[in-house]
Amino acid sequence: MNIRPVRGTHDLFGEEIQKYNIIKKIVSTHADFYSFQELKTPIFEFTELFSKPLGEHSDVVLKEMYTFKDRNDESITLRPEYTTPMIRAAISNNILNDLPAKLFGIGPMFRRERPQKGRYRQFNQINFEIFGVKDFLADLELIILAHDILKKLIPSTDFVLHLNNLGQKENLSDYKTSLRKYFNINKNKLSSESFDKIDKNPLRILDSKDEADINVSNNAPSIQEFINNEDKIHFEEIKKSLKLNDIKFVEDQKLVRGLDYYCSTVFEFKTSEIGAQDTLLGGGRYDGLIKALGGPNIPGIGWAAGIERISMLMKINKKLNNHIHIAINNEKFKTHLQKIMTYLIKNNIPYYWNYKYNLKKSLTKANSLDANNIIIIGENEFNNNFYTLKNLRTGKQSELQIDEIKNFLNDKS
Ligand code: HAM
């Protein structure tokens, strides 16, 4: 039998799982600081939760959903994103009775895309949503939160915030009509992929990376003409406040997002440091979506970030240098080793031993993991009931009674 992973999936272990856990921790700390509550939803839902809201003509719905019939013939889909399940859960559990609702979640999503660097078929997302707030301060708070989290996780990465204003749904619909007209006039100049999108999804032609499409899009009607005054003011307030908060951004009128539910503010954090899949985080407003899913008529806004893409840029200290390493040269001294292990556990001192009765091998391992300290157990230590603690940075050795170890380490740290 040839057992192999399913294409586009990956296992998290070693450095990757360490990074994943750091991300989870930082996200939870920030969520708590900004007062978001965690919400975990099932990884599968009824297909209809996704098909209409994400857009019947969007790539995700047309090509990427993992959909199957359950035994009772109901159509089930592995969640391709978190926003709609969060709304479903908020409605199912009466969370929307107390507004605003600020929710976050972390977990796996599934999209059957063509795998490449930074793009998987099962990947993990961080997701933040605010339900029930129209005020531009919600947009601002979410963008600042996103910026803070990215700065904390990948401080040396150059990432840029792209911003756009899509206006209200009705204005967007007028804009699409105008785009269709324009693209139809220029249809012979478009790539075949964009040609197919003229009727169903003309907005997506704007973010095509094909050179011919870019040339046509450059002269396409601008969305600005379709945006009402209220939305213009909302957007201006966001930009003004971002400047006050020292968050750099570029206004990007080609930023349309891949899912259909967006309106008003949309944004993405992009970087040139991870290749073609350059979006680390994306989101925006989806006023009208909560009502469409059977909830009250309240606005919503949120974002999601790809954990794998952030991981690619993270630098972590993968060494166990804060652990006390142990080296022992003979199995005969095992009881002395047991004593120190019990002591370290009871005193909450992290330790590492490579299960080898071989001083040299344990020392080599300690050095390779960049350890600060190692406890050495040999004949002398065993016979005279003490431990030698060697500081691998200075080379200094100290002979200690077992109950002196904790204070000794604390004094030195
Ligand atoms: P999205 O832009 O489809 O938005 O995905 C958000 C992020 O998830 C992307 O920027 C990327 O980092 C990551 N991502 C997406 N697809 C993949 C993949 N195949 N492999 C690895 N990473 C991927 C949403 O999902 C919206 N629900 C965001 C949102 C929340 N809007 C409002 N609230």
Q: Is the CB of 122 under 6 A from ligand 1?
A: no
CB 66 within 8 A of CB 112: yes
In the Cβ-directed half-sphere of 120, how many Cα atoms lie within 13 Å? Answer: 18
CA distances (Å), origin 194, targets 188, 201, 243: 10, 9, 36
CA distances (Å), origin 125, targets 5, 113, 187, 306: 20, 16, 37, 5
Crossing angle of helices 405-412 and 334-346, rounded to 10°: 60
Mean pLDDT by 10 residues, the chain (413 residues): 92 93 97 98 97 87 94 97 98 97 98 95 98 98 98 95 94 92 93 91 89 92 91 97 96 90 96 91 96 96 97 82 91 97 95 95 92 95 97 94 93 64
CA of 5 to the centre of ligand 1 (A): 23
Q: Is the CB of 305 under 6 A from ligand 1?
A: yes
Instruction: Note the pLDDT of residue 200.
Output: 87
CA of 328 to the centre of ligand 1 (A): 50
Instruction: Note the pLDDT of residue 55.
Output: 86
Instruction: Note the pLDDT of residue 110.
Output: 98
CA of 399 to the centre of ligand 1 (A): 55
Q: In what order do the strands lie in the sheet with 75-78?
A: 44-46, 75-78, 67-69
Alpha helices by DSSP H, 326-397: 334-346, 359-368, 379-384
CA of 301 to the centre of ligand 1 (A): 14
Instruction: Note the pLDDT of residue 412.
Output: 58
Instruction: Note the pLDDT of residue 201.
Output: 87
Instruction: Note the pLDDT of residue 319.
Output: 67
Compute the distance between CA of residue 57 and CA of residue 203 in angstroms, rounded to an integer.
11
Rg of the Cα atoms in the chain: 28
Q: Is the CB of 210 under 6 A from ligand 1?
A: no
Q: Which atom of ligand 1 is closest in space to residue 283's alpha carbon? A: 31
Instruction: Note the pLDDT of residue 318.
Output: 64
CB 241 within 8 A of CB 140: yes
CA of 103 to the centre of ligand 1 (A): 17
CB 49 within 8 A of CB 84: yes
CA of 169 to the centre of ligand 1 (A): 21
Compute the distance between CA of residue 398 and CA of residue 380 in angstroms, rounded to an integer.
13
**Beta-sheet pairing, 101-110 with 159-165:** unpaired
Which of the listed residues 23, 81, 161 should we mutate to test ligand 1's pocket, taking the one with most ligand atoms within 8 A of CB?
Answer: 81
Q: Which atom of ligand 1 is closest in space to residue 125's alpha carbon? A: 8
Beta strands, E only, 132-278: 159-165, 249-251, 263-271
The token pair that represents 304 in the structure block: 């999601």
